[in-house]
Structure 1
Amino acid sequence: MRGAISELGKALKSPKLKSLTWYRNPIGSVEDMNLFTRALSQSNALDELTFMWNSNENAFQRTKLNDDDAVLIAQSLGGNTHLRKLHLGNNNIQERGMRALYEAVNDTSTLNALSDSNHSCHLRGLSEYLNLYAINSDQDSNGLYTNRICKIHKLIVKRYRNGGGNVPHLNTEMRGGDSVLLAPYLMESVVRRHDSFQKRYNESIECLLGLLYELVKDWKMAELFSFR
């Protein structure tokens, strides 16, 4: 198995390898599984990976991907924008691993973290509780850009609707004297992101004016109009 994984690592370096299915090939040790996940992280050309039903009766839990493996894969997604589809059904990934994968593609801790998330990889086979299948769903030539737009729009809408609003977050995430110069661009982006969301999902979020009013009323307007 270790020799096979080593050969796989060499093959994954080829720009010609676009799709890989690892199916019913049990990996029996922690060391071999770590080697497998490291081999996957080396590929810059792989578009689709399927890892399913890799268990046997004698080593049922270990031969499936677990939380530690999911964390390693999530880390590799931070710098891999080539992988378009990742199928991880029928594995032993629990809440910690699912959360790591979710945050790799949808880190909502800050706007910058969300912008830097992976917007290209479509994840399948995990919990519907995290709604991973819907995070990166647009795979056309403009998919990465559209996914980022829609995720940021959903975050600012969620902050607005939860009652706390966006202003406290913006004051924390956009500090410095030059942040006032971002105010017009942010208001413009709210409208642009709303329009993109509406076009993609064929539905409108009925709080666009509320979002704009919040920004005009409470964020950087006094400072902006003090410029001459």
Structure 2
Amino acid sequence: MKKSILGMFVFAVLVSLSASSYALDFIKFGTSHDTDFWGTPDYEFGTFPSTLQYLAARGKNEITSLDLTDGNVENVFNGDFGSFDAIVVSESISQISPGSYALFTQYVNSGGCVIVTGDHANGEDEFLNNSFGYNVSVITVLDVVDTFAITSFASGTSFANGPAELVAADLTSAYGNAPGAVIYSGTTGVTVFTDQFGGGIVSAIGWDYCCTEGAPNTPAQILAWYE
């Protein structure tokens, strides 16, 4: 019983740590990790929230999770899943048609928000370049090989007052030729950037929010990515 109570206390502390609490409902494209770290608590650490639990405690709620396909993209922008505040594009990032990329372009141009999370350098660059006309490159960084420090450009963005550094976890993505404001940067490249695109925002975060492969990453290092 004591162990159970302690576990519940630790879990509550993890879930209640600081982060922005404004409400945001999002649709996610990319379903590779819905059944593990993204959607399952305690997946690799003894007492640890799932990504969905951590976000929900801060008013960020997933409406639905879909494979990135032309049909699903069309359905989302046709309003089949109702209104939403942002779109997350996550592992696995598949290639789609020029018409589907154009829908993302139009959405952000008109004031929307797209957040791209890591896919182990398996498609983030193609999605960003095809949707928004960037010329980014991307590589994969092994666990704890690099530490990405927050930059002064975070001031005035949604990343202001974020963790001082992020440690590479589970094949983190690092970008070259990142547009907009570089938020976290290390020796291997940029792992977080945000860009004002038309009337909206494009942000890229280099971790896939799925797992850590255990040690040497620590719960505190993963919580920094959550923040």
- Normalised to the residue count of structure 1, the TM-score between the two structures is 0.29
Higher helix share: 1
What's the TM-score, normalizing by structure 2? 0.29
More strand by share: 2
Report which of the two structures shows the higher radius of gyration computed on alpha carbons.
1
